[in-house]
Amino acid sequence: METIRIVIAGPRGRMGREAVSLVQKTDHFQLAAVIDRKNDGGNLADVEGFSGIHAPIYTDAARCFEEIKPDVLIDLTTPEAGKKHAEIALRYGVRPVVGTTGFTDEDIQRLTTLAEEKGIGAIIAPNFAIGAILMMKFAQMAAKYFPDVEIIELHHDQKLDAPSGTAVKTAQLISMVRPTKKQGHPDEKETLAGARGATYDGIPIHSVRLPGLIAHQEVIFGGNGQALTIRHDSFNRASFMSGVKLSVETVMKLHTLVYGLEHIIE
């Protein structure tokens, strides 16, 4: 198998550290460089927790891609940085695999156009955990029979974006198969603002943020005399890494942007 040269943006973060470790232990992956907010010009091996892992550090994504010419960027940063990195990567002919969440429909559309112009692959995956992809697919199946649905997503309290990328993606998949619907009583009123959550195409989304959590979601369907709950839990960040590996391998064969691993996992 040909070696895939990878740049990781956000290597010191919770997900970035897992991704560095994934690249290190995968024979056909090579860590070509990292993009970090600090330590420009330094080496990852000199950063605490990365002893023996040699990769040049850049703070400027464009300079990194220009000098390193990697095959793939894995971005695990913040919404602002992730959007910028993905766009610069595509301009330099580097295929982005974006795990960073908080992208809007417009962001995704702009990057899709850029990937098409360049004729290279890109993947934006709100959730890399295979179980979460199945949870979303099962929810889409169930929505055909149970149009009344609410999403509760639960994450650690250091998360920047709400609702989660997974909750938005789940609502998008459900809204593809059910007509727009106003749920609950037509005259219902919130006596405390936000009590009924945010809505995507009429689907309520409730975001919980608590220390101790990692990433969890329940999709609850209600019907006549019955309810169906589909739940997924990520108990650690290693749960995302098989999806990151699959995305890096797959993006090399794509010529357009794919949003969501449900398009890749049959």
Catalytic annotation, pick one of 85, 155, 169, 245: 155
**Residues engaged in binding ligand LLHOTIJI (CB under 6 A):** 101, 126-127, 155, 159, 164-166, 215
> According to the annotation, is 127 in a ligand binding site?
yes
DSSP per-residue letters across the chain: -PPEEEEEE-TTSHHHHHHHHHHHH-TTEEEEEEE-SS-TT-BGGGSTT-TT---BEES-HHHHHHHH--SEEEE-S-HHHHHHHHHHHHHTTPEEEE------HHHHHHHHHHHHHHT--EEE-S---HHHHHHHHHHHHHHTT--EEEEEEEE-TT--SSS-HHHHHHHHHHHTTS-----S-TT---SSTTTT-EEETTEEEEEEE-TT--EEEEEEEEETTEEEEEEEEE-SGGGGHHHHHHHHHHHTT-SSEEESGGGT--
Q: How far is the CB of 161 from ligand LLHOTIJI (least distance, A)?
A: 6
Q: Is 155 a catalytic residue?
A: yes
Q: How far is the CB of 204 from ligand LLHOTIJI (least distance, A)?
A: 17
Q: Report the residue number, 10 or 70, with the smaller CB distance to ligand NAD.
A: 10
Taking CB within 5 to 8 Å according to partner kind, which of ligand LLHOTIJI, ligand NAD, none is near residue 155?
ligand LLHOTIJI
> According to the annotation, is 185 in a ligand binding site?
no
**Residues engaged in binding ligand NAD (CB under 6 A):** 9-10, 12-16, 35-37, 76-78, 81, 99-102, 125-128, 159, 240
Q: Report the residue number, 100 or 170, with the smaller CB distance to ligand NAD.
A: 100
Q: Is 159 a catalytic residue?
A: yes
Taking CB within 5 to 8 Å according to partner kind, which of ligand LLHOTIJI, ligand NAD, none is near residue 246?
none
> According to the annotation, is 104 in a ligand binding site?
no
> According to the annotation, is 12 in a ligand binding site?
yes
Catalytic site positions: 155, 159
